[in-house]
Structures are given as structure tokens and as C-alpha cells.
Structure 1
Amino acid sequence: MTDENLQDVAARWDGNADQWTHDVRNGYDIYREFFTFPAFVDFLPPLAGLDVIDFGCGEGTNTRRFAQMGARMTGIDLSERMIGHALDTEDKHPLGIAYKIASYSADTGFPGASFDAVISTMALMDGPDFEAAMREAFRLLRPGGFLAFSVLHPCFITPGLGWQRNEAGRATALCVSRYFDRTTFTEEWRFGSRPAGEIVEPFAVPRFPRTLADYLNGIVAAGFRIGKIGEPQPSRQACEADPRFARWRDLAAFLLLVMAERP
């Protein structure tokens, strides 16, 4: 990892920040609302009363939800504009959350053994140095503390994925390729649930492809003991809200959840 890598990631998310904040807070991120966040909450142990740091907190929507579950929250993100949005909301509707501009792949500036839990939702796949993030998570945790995170499933969300469809246009299989291609790339996309006819610039999201072994070995190398793995399927409610979720219920895994303990 170089400073140039981090600066590029920060610049990308600074550029995304205003539209991202608007879209997330207006409910356009239906994957978050109906699938990725509820699945993560179901995966977690109770957070009430714990000191918790959120790696890659973005504009703070999930961080605030964790605070409402009773955690004493700290959020860090590399993007100054994302943290600005988070701080603005905290000022207007305080929940006692501390935010800081910091990379989760470097020394965050907090003393060692400061937290009971390190959590991260759909952010660690967007950073250039996962191994360094695991080392920093280990440093920040008290003995017996836990790490829990969600990422796009590396076995299925590969640089060469594509849906196979029948004559009616219904997805019948997911084709994956380039699983071992770790070339960094920038993915451009918009939330698909935004109002029809509304035109916005696509988000530019840096991607750092990894294999399943890259993730699991990075966790173990930092000193963690892996305790639980999750590959959740969308709920019936999610599939009713948007039929596209049925692809991830029936054909392939979208999400990988990992929990590990600091001995």
C-alpha cells in the first residue's frame, strides 16, 4: 500500500460523497435496507454497552444504527467529505458518536486495546491493504474482543461475473471468471432503485479483488481466531420488495460475513 493508493481512494469517495449521502438517506440503497444490513445485524452478538469502532463508516448511516443498538460508537473513514456528512448529522441529532478521518489500513491514532469490537459493513473490499486493516483491528481490540465484517462474496462477485438468462430474461445461473485476477479497477454504477428518469453521475468505486483465501489468511495472520462465517440468503421480504433478490437467494452468494476473536 502506498500513500498514492490511499489518496486515490479518498479522492474517489470524496467525489461520491454528496450523491451517496443523498441516495442512502432517501432509501435508494435497497441492498442495504433489505439485505446486507439486516443480515449483518442477525450475525452480530449484542453490542449494547460495548466500545465499538466502525471501519469505513462513510456518511454514518450504519454507525448511527449501531449506536441506537446501545453501542458506544466511533466511526473512521478515509473520505473527508463522508466524515463531514456524518459529523453534520451527529451535530443535528447527537447519539454520542465520535468520527475521525483515518484509514483503516494504517495507524488510526487510537491507543491499543481501546475497543471491544471492530465492525465493518461492505467497506473492506474497497481498501487497498486488507492485511494492514486486520493488523490495525487486532491492535485496537482488547483481549477477548471481536472483529465482524461484511464484504461482497469473493467467490461469486469476481471481475468477470455475468448472468446467464433464459428466453424470458430470467436469470438462471451466475457465470464467474477471473477469480484470481487481483488487478485493481474502478467500477461505475448507480443505485438501481432511484426514481425513473432521474439522471445522476455514476459512482466511481475503487475495487481491490481478493480470493476467499486472501481474506481468511489475512485474518489469521494478524493473530485472530476465526469463530463464524456467514453466507446469508435474502429473506422472503427482500425478494418481495425487489424480485432481483431471488437471484442471490437461489443461484449464488452475494455476501460474505466473518467474525473473529482477538485471543
Structure 2
Amino acid sequence: MTERLSHADVAARWNQNADQWARDVRNGYDVYRDLFTLPAFQQFLPPLQGLEIVDFGCGEGTNTRRFAGMGARMTGIDISERMIEYARQMEEADPLGITYRAASYSADTGFPESSFDAVISTMALMDGPDFGGAMREAHRLLRPGGFLAFSVLHPCFITPGLRWEKDEEGRTISLRVSRYFDRADFTEYWRFGDRPQDEEVAPFAVPRFPRTISDYLNAIAAAGFRITRVEEPQPTPEACEAVPRFTRWRDLAAFLLLVMAERPA
């Protein structure tokens, strides 16, 4: 049966996930973020020193704090009030001048037009039901000449029907991609693979909204942006040595899509 997930459903899922998510991330179990997706995104970004930036889908604030450490004046928004509570708690314990607000990035966030020099988002825009709305709000919030930069799961390879294929010796040799044009909403249930296996935890319930690469790029252009850069980074040799399963994403398929665009002056 096809699932139809609303903004309220997304908020409820992430409020439910928040307690375990914050613990796991802060205990280093999200090795994809720590060793691959966030370092690749930071390298993709231009200098942030002194810029006013809003983080779409900031979650519990770990990445937002990294960008503040790069010299940006950060604001974080997330649809999950519970995630925002965790972000504010960390800001109170170790202030970096970050403001957090519970809001959907796909609707009016409550900030005035042209409030920011940049809109950034890390691994969050694929988890909302209205990507076009997010692009329109990003365009509204940006000053002329400002930029948008985001990372998402690569839509050409992270499809609803993906499966790793192995040879007779059990070695991973290819990725089967299928149902690329299946845009039906669904909820994915999973745990971080690097957490203690003997610890019983409920799996995260993560809303998914499959899109094609044209869905992403056309929505960016339709909102009035000019796309300036696209990258599909591979894990570094150091990351693959630390986490050997990353070699699948280095050698066989792309895991990550990075996009940068600007609001014309």
C-alpha cells in the first residue's frame, strides 16, 4: 500500500527518533557523517567566515556547530521540536552564537526576505515531502548574490530497489539499481551499523521521498537559482581504511550528490 507522508508525519517521525539519534551521533556511531559526508561537504563549500547562514534540517545541531566553527554566523531550523531541544541544549552548554528555530524548511520559516548570505543543508532535503517548496523558501531567504549548497543521497543510485550483488566468494561486485522512477513515499527502518550489536534499540523510522536527478535540478532552476557546481565525491583512502565497506561507494557507485547554486544579483 502506498504511503502518503505529510509534514506532520515527518515531524512526528523525527521527534520519535530524536533521543536515540542524538545519543548515537554524539557517541560517534554515524561514521558516514563523521568520515565521509560531512568532510566532503565542508571541502565543497567556499569560505564561510563572517557569513550569515541558515541550516535547513539542522537536526540536533552537530553539523551546524561545525559550520559555526568555520566562522559563519549560524541559524538552524528543523521540523522536529525535539531535535531543536537537543540543539539548544548543546548551545547553552557550549555557546557558539547559534540561533535555533522549529520550522519546516518547505514553508515560510518566519524570517524576513533576504535575511541570509547562504542556505546550506546536509543530508536532510531528501527527507521532506516538498523539495520545490524548500527551494522557493531558500530563494526568498537569500540576499541577491547569495548561495545555496546542499548534500543528499545520490538519487541515481540510492533508489527504492537498490541491492548489492556478490560473487561466489561473497565479495561485493556491483550495485543493482531499480525502481528509479518510483516516487512513492515510504518509511525506512534502520539502525547505525557501527553501534554495539548487543544493545537493544528501536530502529529509526526515516521518511523517504524518492526523486530523480531531474526532479532535484529542475526544482532548483524553477525557484530562480543558477546552478554553479555539482559534485559526486568518493570516500577518501583514509575513510576506506577506517571503514572498509566504504570501498563499495568508492569503486562501484555514488552515494552522495552535492549541489551549489546562486541567487542571481
TM-score bucket (shorter structure): over 0.9
Q: Which residue of 2 aligns with 1:189?
A: 190
Match for 1:150: what amino acid? S
> Structure 2 CA distance, aligned partners of 1:79 and 1:151?
19
Q: Which residue of 2 aligns with 1:251?
A: 252
Q: Which residue of 1 aligns with 2:234?
A: 233
> Structure 1 CA distance, aligned partners of 2:211 and 2:251?
24
> Structure 1 CA distance, aligned partners of 2:166 and 2:199?
28
Alpha-carbon shift at residue 35 of structure 1 (Å): 0.2
Q: How does 1:81-160 map to 2 (within 5 A)?
A: 81-160=82-161
Alpha-carbon shift at residue 168 of structure 1 (Å): 2.1
> Structure 1 CA distance, aligned partners of 2:197 and 2:82?
27
Alpha-carbon shift at residue 196 of structure 1 (Å): 3.0
Alpha-carbon shift at residue 114 of structure 1 (Å): 0.3
Q: Which residue of 2 aligns with 1:32?
A: 33
Give 5+ residue unaligned stretches, structure 2: none
Alpha-carbon shift at residue 167 of structure 1 (Å): 1.8
Match for 2:27: what amino acid? N
| Root-mean-square deviation over aligned CA pairs | 0.6
Aligned length: 260
Give 5+ residue unaligned stretches, structure 1: none
Match for 2:222: what amino acid? A
> Structure 2 CA distance, aligned partners of 1:229 and 1:207?
22
Match for 1:73: what amino acid? M
Q: Which residue of 1 aligns with 2:14?
A: 13
For residues 104-128 of structure 1, the C-alpha deviation after alignment (integer angstroms, 9 at most, x for no partner) is 0000000000000000000000000
Matching of residue 170 in structure 1 with residue 171 in structure 2 = yes
Alpha-carbon shift at residue 17 of structure 1 (Å): 0.1
Alpha-carbon shift at residue 169 of structure 1 (Å): 1.6
Q: Which residue of 1 aligns with 2:199?
A: 198
> Structure 2 CA distance, aligned partners of 1:217 and 1:5?
22
Alpha-carbon shift at residue 246 of structure 1 (Å): 0.1
TM-score by length of 1: 0.98
Matching of residue 74 in structure 1 with residue 75 in structure 2 = yes
- What's the % identity of the aligned pairs? 75
> Structure 2 CA distance, aligned partners of 1:96 and 1:130?
29
For residues 40-71 of structure 1, the C-alpha deviation after alignment (integer angstroms, 9 at most, x for no partner) is 00100011100000000000000001001100
For residues 12-45 of structure 1, the C-alpha deviation after alignment (integer angstroms, 9 at most, x for no partner) is 0000000000000010000000100000001000
> Structure 2 CA distance, aligned partners of 1:76 and 1:204?
20
Alpha-carbon shift at residue 133 of structure 1 (Å): 0.2
Q: Which residue of 2 aligns with 1:262?
A: 263
> Structure 1 CA distance, aligned partners of 2:14 and 2:61?
14
> Structure 1 CA distance, aligned partners of 2:197 and 2:158?
27
> Structure 2 CA distance, aligned partners of 1:170 and 1:191?
22
Alpha-carbon shift at residue 198 of structure 1 (Å): 1.4
Secondary structure of the 1:48 match is coil
> Structure 1 CA distance, aligned partners of 2:121 and 2:192?
21
> Structure 2 CA distance, aligned partners of 1:213 and 1:46?
29
TM-score by length of 2: 0.97
For residues 72-108 of structure 1, the C-alpha deviation after alignment (integer angstroms, 9 at most, x for no partner) is 0000000000000000110111000000000000000
Runs of at least 4 residues of structure 1 off by over 3 A? Answer: none
Secondary structure of the 2:29 match is coil
> Structure 2 CA distance, aligned partners of 1:210 and 1:22?
30
Secondary structure of the 2:260 match is strand
